Amino acid sequence: MTHYFLLETSEKTICQRTIIVWNNMILRKSTKILFMVMICSYSYILFYINKIIQKHPTNLSIFQHYFNNRYFHQSDELQKQITLKLSTSCKEKQNLVFIKCMKCATETMATVIRRFGYTRNLSFVLPVGTHIYLGWPYLMEKIDYRPPSCKNCSTAYNILMEHSIYNRSIMRSLMPKDTVYITSIREPYDRFLSTFHYFKIKDYVVLNETDYVSQYLNDYHKYEAIYKSKTFSEHYCIPRNFSLTENLMAHCLGVPLGFPAGRKSIASYSTEEITRYLQDLDNEFSLVMIVEYFYESLILLRRLMCWKTKDIIFRKVNIGGYRKTDVSNNRQTEQNRQLYKSYSRIDYILYDHFKRALLEKIKQQTPDFFDEVNHFRKVQAEVTEFCDNFYQNKSTKKCISVNQTSWDNAFNYTGEDCKLMYTNLLTAMQNRYDSVMGKLTVLPQSTDRRTC
């Protein structure tokens, strides 16, 4: 029976022993061969899947392809029925806190969340006057927000989503018990680049090299100190000594990093200690969206909140016009990314942690998850085109009709919907508040705590 010994014979492996034991057993030859064939094909399949997954560990379209095509096609109809049942027994959630951190697609998310609340007359925690920040980048205080506008409702506020720093005790005291906490984060170096261009930091610190991003990062502390010593223009309203580039996402999520002066900083803590800190955030936030998986994150949001497909249609706003190729070539970009990692260590720990958590969440979804993602991509593309045409008076259609799916009923998207999508709803809500409650006096703030 030597033909079974395909392995090296120099050492008696477990496998060899097994085969020997097996040879000594009284089994019919045909049974043995059948068994062997089964084991071989099973290992081959495992090997094949493993190869795909190892090649692209985070490429979701691979999973998607793998799920949709290989396993779940036969049970599509069954799956649809199950999901439809689920979605009809799912009660829309309306109370939420969204931590809005700059350059993390959060203004785009704001077009979703503001519209959701506005069309339902929900009560928002609104910045005072014409401010756009809820105290940001300081912890929120009473002088930063308006009292609730509904005098007689069961809960005072439904939604807190304008720029604020997450703080558990402040927000719990303001929001209903069943509030869902959500935020959105982004690959830290990409977020840095976006911020760098959006706030024109190059001009504030005067960089003269062609590859000015490399110049900045190579002399990081010097240039940080220059722009931090200035007060940004009224429009941006960034206080002195505040870093827009360093660990900003962690700061928005309430991680104490020494701003404002006198606040504790955990920047020098070990990775383990920081991870423990993040574990608390993990427990308090139901969803941390990842910009690199924006569509997947939106579907998770829809499912978590039991919202409609129409609710999560968005408009891209504040997308920087810069191209990365303007700045550095690929090799330099990678070098810069590594360099930046050393300056924004906490943001990287944060990002890696929540990216892993998001991918895990996706794996736990029903098998039709990627079908829904793809369906939503199509709807979003159609609506974007429709609204663009609508605004250029080139529209040939009166509305878009989206058919019923296993996730949602049919709905129409009209020009009125486009108009709402393009309206500045923060201003609209502040005006609506003023017309109901009358204009409130905005208390002056001390100059060392300037916020808008």
Q: Kindly tell me which of 220 and 411 has the beta carbon lying closer to ligand NAG.
A: 411
Euclidean distance between CA atoms 421 and 315, whole angstroms = 7
Place of tokens 């259609």: 397
Q: Kindly tell me which of 31 and 208 has the beta carbon lying closer to ligand NAG.
A: 208
Could you tell me the smallest distance in angstroms from the CB atom of residue 365 to ligand NAG? 19
Q: Kindly tell me which of 147 and 256 has the beta carbon lying closer to ligand NAG.
A: 256
Could you tell me the smallest distance in angstroms from the CB atom of residue 23 to ligand NAG? 44
Q: Is residue 370 exposed (0-12), middle (13-18) or buried (19+ Cβ within 10 Å)?
A: buried
Q: Kindly tell me which of 30 and 392 has the beta carbon lying closer to ligand NAG.
A: 392
Could you tell me the smallest distance in angstroms from the CB atom of residue 152 to ligand NAG? 4
Among 351, 328, 171, 338, CA closest to 247? 351
Residue 114 Cα to chain centre, angstroms: 17
Euclidean distance between CA atoms 265 and 263, whole angstroms = 6
Task: Using CB under 6 A, list all residues that contact ligand NAG.
Answer: 56, 59, 61-62, 120-121, 139, 152, 167, 169-170, 208-209, 240-241, 254, 256, 261, 392-393, 399, 401, 403, 410-412, 448
Contact 154/179 with Cβ under 8 angstroms?
no
Euclidean distance between CA atoms 132 and 426, whole angstroms = 8
Could you tell me the smallest distance in angstroms from the CB atom of residue 317 to ligand NAG? 19
Q: Tell me the CA distances in angstroms from 438 to 17, 126, 237, 350, 401, one per residue in order.
A: 86, 14, 26, 42, 40
Could you tell me the smallest distance in angstroms from the CB atom of residue 401 to ligand NAG? 5
Could you tell me the smallest distance in angstroms from the CB atom of residue 181 to ligand NAG? 15
Euclidean distance between CA atoms 72 and 342, whole angstroms = 44
Could you tell me the smallest distance in angstroms from the CB atom of residue 4 to ligand NAG? 38
Q: Kindly tell me which of 139 and 180 has the beta carbon lying closer to ligand NAG.
A: 139
Contact 287/304 with Cβ under 8 angstroms?
yes
Q: Kindly tell me which of 195 and 414 has the beta carbon lying closer to ligand NAG.
A: 414
Q: Kindly tell me which of 22 and 411 has the beta carbon lying closer to ligand NAG.
A: 411
CA angle centred on 238, ends 262 and 293, rounded to 5° = 100
Euclidean distance between CA atoms 447 and 66, whole angstroms = 58
Q: Look up residue 447 and give its two tokens.
A: 């100059």
Euclidean distance between CA atoms 293 and 307, whole angstroms = 19
Could you tell me the smallest distance in angstroms from the CB atom of residue 182 to ligand NAG? 19
Q: Look up residue 88 and give its two tokens.
A: 């009809």
Could you tell me the smallest distance in angstroms from the CB atom of residue 409 to ligand NAG? 7
Q: Kindly tell me which of 19 and 406 has the beta carbon lying closer to ligand NAG.
A: 406
Place of tokens 């005006």: 431
Task: Map residue 394 onto helix, strand or coil.
Answer: coil
Residue type, 293: Y
In terms of phi and psi (left: phi > 0; alpha: psi -120 to 50; beta: otherwise), the region of 29 is alpha
Q: Kindly tell me which of 335 and 409 has the beta carbon lying closer to ligand NAG.
A: 409
